[in-house]
Amino acid sequence: MGFNTRRTNRLLSPWTWFLAAITLGIAWRLIDAFLNFPIWGDEAAILLNLLERHYLDLLKPLNYQQVAPILYLVLEKGFLANVGYSNFILRLPAFLAGFAAIPMVYLAARQFGGRYTAFLATSLALLSLTLVRYTNMVKPYSIDLFLSATILYLGMRLLKKPKSFSRAILFLPLVPVSILLSYPSVFMIAAVGLVSGIQVLRRGSFLSRLAILATTCAAVSTFLPMYLHIGQGQLDTTRAMMEHYWRREFPPLDWGFPLWLLKAHTSAMFSYPAGGRYGLALLIFPLSVVGAVSIWRRKSPAYALMLILPFLFTMAAAFPHRYPYGGEARVEQHLAVCIFILAATGTLVLGKLLLAKLKQPRRMLRLVVISTIGFYLACATVSLIADIRKPYISTAYHDLDTLERRIFTPDLGMQDRVIVMQKFEGDPLFTIRYGYQMQPHLPAPRGIVTIYHQMLESADLPLPLVPGQIAWLVAVHGEDDPYWPAWLSRAGITYRQLDPPQMFKVEAGPENLRFPWVDVLHIQVESIAKPTASQPAP
């Protein structure tokens, strides 16, 4: 009996379930890293910039519709140049930041509540599909989360002891580095600086005030040059894409604003742990509202403002179309730590209200914690099984990865051609170009692949082909009918087919959604009726 009682107590202990969440969360991240998901479009676009540029050139606006902070680019360039070219090495900065973010979420949550708050918030972080994805991705989304959680934790410590110089001085190196490493960290910096900074100026010591003033000067002197000379240039080159791609994430200045506000908070930004555009946001957002009200009333308005102001500052940046709000969780990772803490607090508040009239409410509250973590564990288990069965973000990226492996083999000769026709710069173009440049066994790098950005509606633009030449032809177009046979016929090119033709659908940005089909043909040219260029067009 005694043994069974002890085993039951262990099973009913929140610590046991929290340790299970830690175990599964770490295992899931390691398994996904081992599965080596194919590089997807945005990753390939960033890496192409790093491959094609020297360090100083990273200060200029990026190619391929990309925006990224300068210190992250330098860090990733260093890994690319000095460590290696494998997917895992290139994803290592984000991988390490994703792991480091977990204890920071726990420490930040402990500043707002007890162990149960920290258990729930950290379990949600550990077992969220979105966070696992971004831990194994080249893009710096997990860095955004790590820095925001760190800033929030240190800000809360300073808020509680505003006279502490040792706590205030930590922001002096952290804030400039964060600004250079993560664009959205400025929203958390502004929120923490406003709340804790006012408290320090009112109640702090001379040294703590001096540290905060020095940090403010460092923040301004870092942000303004970075924004004016780097960020603004990146924004200008991507403005057209930003306006179109993120149009639903910019608030309308009309009567549609309330509906937009509701959709923003009940979509991907709050969709934890299962991810998706809507998912569990309808549960997590109301819990977060309850948590915010509870912290405001029972703790302190200053505590609540620490968690609410980052949302308001991010939304304020969305009005002038400087930063999207609410559409996709990947660009709102700096808000994730606030969501985890608010949702955890709301869960416990509702649990206490529902259990208030029951006997032994404290023990029953443990069951609320256990059942919530158990739910997160179930969601994570389903997602992990799905990752193992299909180790890719979408079928399109798996097909593109398979295509690259078929094309870029040692058999690809110096005179062979790989030609991609695509109207807009987008994922198939980026991934194929990146896949080529990452093949060290191929001769004459950048001398084989010829890429046209135009979607050819006619055969007026000649292909750089000659009789007897072998070519891989890839077209991104808008119909589910084969593209190449009719085009080659109009161009007067006869050929022998070397492999069966291949077609698949690509899932990419709004522009590519109008041209979603990828059509692949592997041929050897037999004759050309019309004159064509013997060399690739520049």
**pLDDT digits 0-9 by tens, 357-402:** 666 666 778 888 999 999 999 999 999 999 999 988 878 778 888 8
Residue with tokens 């006619």: 458
pLDDT for 19-48, tens place per residue?
999 999 999 999 999 999 888 888 888 988
Low-confidence winner among 196-205, 304-313, 515-524 (lowest mean pLDDT): 515-524
> Tell me, what's the pLDDT at 452?
61
Beta bridge partners of 190: none
Low-confidence winner among 140-144, 202-206, 357-361, 514-518 (lowest mean pLDDT): 357-361
At residue 462 the predicted structure's pLDDT band, cuts being 50, 70 and 90, is: low
Contact (Cβ atoms closer than 8 angstroms) between residue 63 and residue 48: yes
Q: Quick check: 146 pLDDT over 80?
A: yes
Token pair for residue 521? 């043909």
> Tell me, what's the pLDDT at 507?
61
Contact (Cβ atoms closer than 8 angstroms) between residue 474 and residue 483: no
Which one has a higher pLDDT value, 400 or 515?
A: 400
Gap between the Cα atoms of 408 and 92, Å rounded: 25
Gap between the Cα atoms of 454 and 450, Å rounded: 12
Gap between the Cα atoms of 188 and 48, Å rounded: 30
> Tell me, what's the pLDDT at 439?
66
Q: Quick check: 346 pLDDT over 60?
A: yes
> Tell me, what's the pLDDT at 532?
47
Which one has a higher pLDDT value, 516 or 512?
A: 516
pTM, entire model: 0.90
Low-confidence winner among 33-37, 190-194, 481-485, 528-532 (lowest mean pLDDT): 528-532
**Residue type (1 letter), 336:** A
> Tell me, what's the pLDDT at 510?
45
> Tell me, what's the pLDDT at 425?
65
Share of the chain above pLDDT 90, in %: 54
> Tell me, what's the pLDDT at 449?
62
pLDDT for 59-87, tens place per residue?
999 988 899 999 999 999 988 888 777 78
| Mean residue pLDDT across the chain | 86
Mean pLDDT of 199-213: 95
> Tell me, what's the pLDDT at 424?
64
> Tell me, what's the pLDDT at 453?
57
Gap between the Cα atoms of 201 and 300, Å rounded: 18
> Tell me, what's the pLDDT at 446?
41
Question: Using alpha carbons only, what angle is made at residue 339 by residues 336 and 344, rounded to the nearest 5 degrees?
Answer: 130
At residue 340 the predicted structure's pLDDT band, cuts being 50, 70 and 90, is: very high
The closest alpha carbon to 114, from 242, 14, 32, belongs to 14
Residue 410: how many other CB atoms lie within 10 Å? 9
Mean pLDDT of 228-255: 88
